[in-house]
């Protein structure tokens, strides 16, 4: 997590999930919609987080580049540890990838135990987005 630029302004992580081959346009539109829904600007975003099986997914990498933040990846076992904190756990997602959620779990995992979801899973046709935040003390 040392490559995530956390500070008093960059306290949010955007968790993303998508089907393989989802277009950049769809995932980026969903990401912008998610940030807008909770009034978070790009300058408040520390990272994009997702499951490690999407490490090479063009749309995920493009969203990280768009917001000029790192993309961080977690395996399904690590994401499954976040299940008790999910707003929208899914048995369907568990059957497909081995964890009960990708977007929510990844956002929480990136920030650790003190993180909270500020936006539960939002969906488009082929992608999901969620946002977690950590409350850092101001200097």
* Average pLDDT of the chain, as a whole number: 92
- Return d(Cα 132, Cα 86) in angstroms, integer: 11
Q: Of 35 and 138, which is predicted with more confidence?
A: 35
45-51, strands of its sheet edge to edge: 71-74, 45-51, 12-18, 127-133, 116-123
Query: For the stretch 71-97, what's the b/e string if a residue is b when 16 or more beta carbons lie within 10 angstroms of its beta carbon?
Result: bbbbebeebbebeebbebbbeebeeeb
- Answer whether residue 2 shows pLDDT above 70: no
- Tell me the per-residue pLDDT of 39-89, one tens digit each, with 9 for 90 and over: 999 999 999 999 999 999 999 999 999 999 999 999 999 999 999 999 999
Kind plus residue range of the DSSP H or E element containing 45: strand 45-51
CATH topology of domain 12-133: Nucleotidyltransferase; domain 5 (3.30.420)
pLDDT of residue 52: 97
């Amino acid at each position: 997590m040392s490559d995530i630029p956390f500070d008093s302004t960059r306290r949010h992580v955007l968790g993303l999930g998508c089907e393989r081959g989802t277009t950049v346009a769809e995932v980026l539109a969903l990401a912008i919609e998610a940030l807008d829904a909770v009034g978070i600007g790009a300058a408040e975003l520390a990272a994009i987080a997702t499951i490690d099986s999407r490490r090479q997914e063009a749309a995920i990498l493009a969203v990280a580049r768009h917001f000029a933040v790192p993309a961080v990846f977690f395996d399904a076992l690590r994401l499954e540890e976040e299940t008790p904190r999910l707003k929208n756990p899914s048995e369907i997602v568990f059957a497909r990838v081995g964890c009960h959620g990708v977007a929510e779990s990844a956002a929480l995992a990136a920030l650790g135990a003190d993180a909270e979801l500020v936006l539960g899973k939002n969906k488009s046709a082929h992608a999901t987005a969620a946002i977690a935040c950590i409350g850092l003390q101001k200097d």
